[in-house]
Chain A
């Protein structure tokens, strides 16, 4: 406390920078003096969770980060993996939750802009965007405003910048009512021979400021993003930046052109904490210093003081270190694209960030103190899982009302399984997302092979974009592709963070396998509540352990990501309401041959339908299968019984790997016509979705007899079990089945066949009693209209 007592700042001053008293004492200790206002602001943003991961770093260490294909792991602007044939893929995910809660359109738009800059800063041309969104209940008018604003913002930025938005996921749950999640993931194909890194080098080299001008917009967005949202947050709108996708498009072209000259030593995007973050990180990574003169920075408004320059988060700006003597070459490229590029500083031998303003030194801080040697908080896990989780785990399906082959009794009404199926299909989390992706240009760049809504993952053709001319009309070349997905069932993670996080990784890998892609690597976005709360920390720590174990088991190393904590809203009583813990897994995979890929819809009548994974009727017979297929944490339980409880599906990672390998093999051989994983809503929903997508019926015989002691709802709508439903051309039946018998014995079932367009989806017991029989156009309507009709509601 003595540091504060003798210093110029009050506790309120520190709090407004997001700093704690003990952190201030550490700052004084490092500087050997009190900081000035500008320096205090720089520490405030650089020591925020958003920039320095002070709460999560010890947990992130356990992630596997290395692999044969990993060229760049965590720590740079984006991860890079080797796709073979000289193709290298940069990819990364990032959150813009807090800005989107306050100003959904610009918050989401600049989220897209920021993640794209991370990609092209490496020398890669962005080729695809995905997004992972969470909103509260759609019945709430405020949610609808946030939802439509976020979608419009993503659409506005992504469409104009000319990068296709090819995939994503969205969940609606009251847990996100005041705090939506907006995570954007981008992929890019390297265009420069060397990967452009961010460590400054070459004493005396010029430091260039490029791109847009600096203004007061987005002041301190990083520290804003590292605190709980409250009713006052809306008045913090200046903390939300305004994006200009047109400028960004020009910046992409100018940067890639500039990198190709070889005149650029290092580059860093100005995202969170703007000039502060870019100067200190570039200096710290290069083990050098940077001297920057604020008077040389192009501005969009007058009268700014150093504090404002340093903490501005104006968009579409970057910092370059150039080879001495080649700066003019770069400046000309940027000016041709109508962008600013000025020499604003130099690289110093002394490892400090020195900021000049009006002929004086406005700030001078050791670079390492700001960017590398930052505070870390180690916390202890509680002795036992929190009460809420233990209570949830006590739930069993015996607590549900009785059910029969005809349906389930709900408050005296018999609801048929047909009705349950339609109700689940109309749940916004399961329903068609076309209202969303129709607003995104998902075809620009001419590489989108599988369109949104048609498959479990997006597939983008890999085409060297610049200079590499292919032979016209050449038909014998094999084209390869990249597949990408984002996944996380947050209800599972809430109920059991360790198993839930494993399930997110497993589902991402399963989705890639269902299109025929080999999973390669992960970028993760950890969206959690406050780590200062023991339950919040338990969720974060357990989820990280789950991610680490699953990524290791599935050989998909983590190459980077983003941490967004303090996702809580204060209710009217001032009590923090945390979101569901949401570790979003972004995963990329390689498609070796674009001729061998799969969508999720049935392709031809007469094709045979198989279920891979835990077989129907065998869910609980084998003790090792216990808990793998369950109604715990299911969409059925939440939507039909209004209950969030139970142990979510336990994930057997070895089984996941076997099932996915079999699915990929079947696709690679050309036997498999369609593949779709069983996720929310379980087997019945997966089958219904394949019917809708393929516009064909299916006749399914489940290997259970009508007097079974099993619950019908668990058979139809139970989730988990590493399951994939796929259809196989009948001529390949014996090849396929003998392959399965050798490689997946005990974990596959032939369950039916694809029928004609006019036929129904019918699920029968083994003794031919009908459980579900629905017309495809009826279920398509339930599924297709659900979100649109809610958005039209006034």
Chain B
């Protein structure tokens, strides 16, 4: 069994959705981790869910970075354990420096809730191994500040180190400005750190994992994760 922890900040609102997928759909032991907690050594995977942590005042994720749980999460990541940030969680991971770059206001300045096509750029990591190379999947997005920004050097190193895991694309897999919902540079929807154990993504895989709701393209991420950890465990 793989133990999941789902961080709960005041203002998190996808925490229960993630826990529902882990615990109820995948049957994995899952506990909620309050933002003031620091004892997370029992956890294999820590998930920073979507929402509006601390109201997202100042800047998305900017206050969350100072929380005790994020200090513990940094240590968790340094040990090579898995960290997944979804939506606001991705913003928090860039704020604490576990991932490079920043997420800024969407190109058209509106909040966007929609379903978008994504290209899986790499399938040799735990996160994406259930997908086919270059597979196009559909995941929901829901954000006002999801436009990925980084300086040219950072972007070049993300490309060179193959840290871009998901890119916004057309249903055919081609990607250009027309298929970019929020203006993200290089159509970036999700990236990992150099080591590959920390993933941040704006789309919501947990909203596409339940057959009752139709789309299950996001379920692959969680199932792949379980398989990877099961294989790596003694």
Interface residues of chain A, those whose CB is within 8 Å of chain B, are 152, 155-156, 159-162, 244-247, 249-250, 337-338, 437-449, 461, 463, 465, 469-470, 472-473, 479, 594
Chain A nearest Cβ from B140, distance in angstroms: 5
Q: Is the CB of B16 within 8 A of A445?
A: yes
Q: Is the CB of B213 within 8 A of A446?
A: yes
Q: Is the CB of B113 within 8 A of A440?
A: yes
Q: Is the CB of A441 within 8 A of B213?
A: no
Given A445-B17, A470-B24, A472-B25: A439 touches B52 (CB 8 Å cut-off): no
Q: Is the CB of A246 within 8 A of B14?
A: no
Bound complex: CA A337 to CA B207 (Å)? 26
Q: Is the CB of B204 within 8 A of A443?
A: yes
Bound complex: CA A442 to CA B13 (Å)? 13
Interface residues of chain B, those whose CB is within 8 Å of chain A, are 10-11, 13-14, 16-17, 20-21, 23-27, 50-52, 54-57, 110-114, 140, 142, 144, 204, 206-207, 210, 212-214
Given A160-B55, A465-B16, A472-B26: A441 touches B212 (CB 8 Å cut-off): no
Chain B nearest Cβ from A455, distance in angstroms: 13
Q: Is the CB of A461 within 8 A of B212?
A: yes
| Chain A residues in 8 Å Cβ range of B21 | 446
Q: Is the CB of A444 within 8 A of B213?
A: no
New contact pairs (15) apart from A159-B144, A438-B110, CB-CB < 8 Å: A159-B52, A160-B13, A245-B52, A246-B56, A247-B55, A250-B11, A338-B10, A444-B50, A444-B207, A445-B17, A446-B17, A446-B213, A447-B213, A448-B213, A461-B213
Chain A nearest Cβ from B165, distance in angstroms: 22
Bound complex: CA A777 to CA B10 (Å)? 45
| Chain A residues in 8 Å Cβ range of B110 | 152, 155, 438-439
| Chain A residues in 8 Å Cβ range of B114 | 438
The 6 residue pairs across chains A and B that have the minimum distance between CB atoms: A162-B13, A246-B55, A472-B27, A446-B17, A441-B142, A160-B52
| Chain B residues in 8 Å Cβ range of A444 | 13-14, 17, 50, 142, 207
Bound complex: CA A250 to CA B34 (Å)? 13
Chain A nearest Cβ from B22, distance in angstroms: 10
Give me 6 A-to-B residue pairs in the complex whose CB atoms sit less than 8 angstroms apart, sorted by A's number: A162-B51, A244-B55, A446-B20, A446-B210, A446-B213, A463-B20
Given A246-B54, A249-B11, A465-B16: A443 touches B24 (CB 8 Å cut-off): no
Bound complex: CA A444 to CA B207 (Å)? 8
Bound complex: CA A437 to CA B113 (Å)? 8
| Chain A residues in 8 Å Cβ range of B16 | 445, 465
Bound complex: CA A156 to CA B206 (Å)? 22
| Chain A residues in 8 Å Cβ range of B14 | 162, 444
| Chain A residues in 8 Å Cβ range of B214 | 449
Chain A nearest Cβ from B64, distance in angstroms: 12
Of B10, B17, B114, the most chain A CB neighbours within 10 A belong to B10
Chain B nearest Cβ from A183, distance in angstroms: 21
Chain A nearest Cβ from B87, distance in angstroms: 10
Q: Is the CB of B212 within 8 A of A594?
A: yes
| Chain B residues in 8 Å Cβ range of A472 | 24-27
In the complex formed, the residue of B with least CB distance to A594 is B212
Bound complex: CA A441 to CA B11 (Å)? 15
| Chain A residues in 8 Å Cβ range of B112 | 438-439
In the complex formed, the residue of B with least CB distance to A469 is B24
DSSP majority for the A interface? loop
| Chain A residues in 8 Å Cβ range of B25 | 472-473
In the complex formed, the residue of B with least CB distance to A466 is B16
| Chain A residues in 8 Å Cβ range of B24 | 469-470, 472
| Chain A residues in 8 Å Cβ range of B207 | 443-444, 446
Q: Is the CB of B10 within 8 A of A246?
A: yes
Q: Is the CB of A442 within 8 A of B10?
A: no
In the complex formed, the residue of A with least CB distance to B55 is A246
Q: Is the CB of A337 within 8 A of B10?
A: yes
Bound complex: CA A472 to CA B23 (Å)? 8
Chain B nearest Cβ from A491, distance in angstroms: 30
Given A443-B140, A448-B213, A473-B25: A250 touches B10 (CB 8 Å cut-off): yes
Q: Is the CB of A469 within 8 A of B23?
A: yes
| Chain B residues in 8 Å Cβ range of A439 | 110-113
Bound complex: CA A439 to CA B13 (Å)? 17
In the complex formed, the residue of B with least CB distance to A162 is B13
| Chain B residues in 8 Å Cβ range of A473 | 25-27
Q: Is the CB of A441 within 8 A of B51?
A: no
Q: Is the CB of B23 within 8 A of A443?
A: no
Bound complex: CA A437 to CA B115 (Å)? 13
Chain B nearest Cβ from A241, distance in angstroms: 17
Q: Is the CB of A249 within 8 A of B212?
A: no
Bound complex: CA A244 to CA B144 (Å)? 17
In the complex formed, the residue of B with least CB distance to A252 is B13
Residue from B10, B55, B56, B113 in contact with A441 in the complex, judged by beta carbons closer than 8 Å: B113
| Chain B residues in 8 Å Cβ range of A441 | 111, 113, 142
Chain B nearest Cβ from A766, distance in angstroms: 39
Q: Is the CB of B213 within 8 A of A160?
A: no
Bound complex: CA A156 to CA B52 (Å)? 11
Chain A nearest Cβ from B67, distance in angstroms: 12
| Chain B residues in 8 Å Cβ range of A465 | 16
Residue from B54, B204, B213 in contact with A449 in the complex, judged by beta carbons closer than 8 Å: B213
Q: Is the CB of B113 within 8 A of A246?
A: no
Chain B nearest Cβ from A339, distance in angstroms: 9
Bound complex: CA A244 to CA B56 (Å)? 11
Chain B nearest Cβ from A31, distance in angstroms: 43
Bound complex: CA A448 to CA B214 (Å)? 10
| Chain B residues in 8 Å Cβ range of A470 | 24
Bound complex: CA A433 to CA B11 (Å)? 29
Q: Is the CB of A442 within 8 A of B51?
A: no
In the complex formed, the residue of A with least CB distance to B181 is A438
Bound complex: CA A30 to CA B86 (Å)? 60
Q: Is the CB of B11 within 8 A of A443?
A: no
Bound complex: CA A156 to CA B145 (Å)? 12
Bound complex: CA A702 to CA B107 (Å)? 47
Chain A nearest Cβ from B69, distance in angstroms: 15
In the complex formed, the residue of A with least CB distance to B25 is A472
In the complex formed, the residue of A with least CB distance to B115 is A451
Q: Is the CB of B52 within 8 A of A249?
A: yes
